[in-house]
């Protein structure tokens, strides 16, 4: 059995696939850049096979294009198993710049921009402020532990464990943990519905 020479293996060239997917969805480089958080110049280099993206960039592009990473890498779609189990360490997450708010992305990437759900942890004093989403968007926030204050549409509500708030997010909105510094973090499930 021969072992391939790893130096002779080239990384996958995603340029042609990326360009075809982008064009089939009617997206400009500017729009895909905005959606994926990848610079327009980097996208252009990837499409011309002058740069190979990192796994993180491929993940962002697949998310923005609403396709599987394997499809973007030029592979075929793989049939989904009857039960897809995702290990805890494999669930992607994001944190606010101050580290006081953490979002674990529980929903599948292919539904991003339509239906998203997260586990939200907000440390005492933390606030998750958001700009307006597209008209008709709504959030559903269910507090599991601690308490959270929601402000949206000129109203403010405090949620305790077991309570849920549903509110329009086509304007600025915020979720705060107003507990004292030695208080407990608040944990909630956040669902975002896009029109």
- Weakly modelled stretches of the chain, pLDDT under 70: 1-13, 74-81, 110
Element (H, E) at 35: helix 29-36
Q: What does the pLDDT look like over 142-161, one tens digit per residue?
A: 999 999 999 999 999 999 99
Q: Rounded to two decimals, what is the model's pTM?
A: 0.60
Tokens of 111: 């539904």
d(CA 132, CA 140): 15
- Sorted by where each starts, the structural domains of the chain and their CATH numbers stand as 11-72 (1.10.260.40), 92-193 (2.60.120.10)
Proportion of the chain above pLDDT 90, given as a percent:
42
What per-residue confidence (pLDDT) applies to 77?
A: 47
Q: Tell me what pLDDT residue 12 has.
A: 60
Smallest CA-to-CA distance from 103 within 85, 91, 115, 90 is with 91
């Amino acid at each position: 059995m021969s072992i391939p020479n790893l130096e002779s293996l080239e990384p996958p060239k995603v340029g042609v696939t990326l360009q075809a997917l982008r064009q089939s969805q009617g997206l400009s480089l500017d729009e895909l850049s905005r959606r994926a958080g990848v610079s327009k110049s980097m996208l252009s280099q990837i499409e011309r096979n002058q740069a190979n993206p990192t796994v993180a960039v491929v993940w962002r592009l697949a998310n923005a294009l609403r396709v599987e990473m394997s499809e973007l890498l030029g592979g075929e779609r793989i049939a989904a198993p009857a039960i897809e189990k995702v290990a805890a360490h494999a669930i992607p997450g994001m944190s606010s710049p101050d580290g006081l708010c953490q979002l674990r992305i529980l929903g599948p990437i292919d539904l991003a921009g339509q239906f998203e759900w997260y586990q939200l942890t907000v440390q005492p004093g933390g606030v998750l402020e958001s700009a307006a989403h597209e008209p008709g968007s709504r959030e559903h926030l269910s507090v599991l532990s601690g308490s959270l204050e929601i402000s949206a549409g000129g109203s403010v509500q405090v949620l305790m464990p077991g309570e849920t708030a549903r509110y329009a997010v086509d304007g600025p909105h915020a979720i705060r943990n107003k507990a004292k510094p030695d208080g407990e973090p608040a944990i909630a499930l956040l669902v975002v519905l896009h029109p």
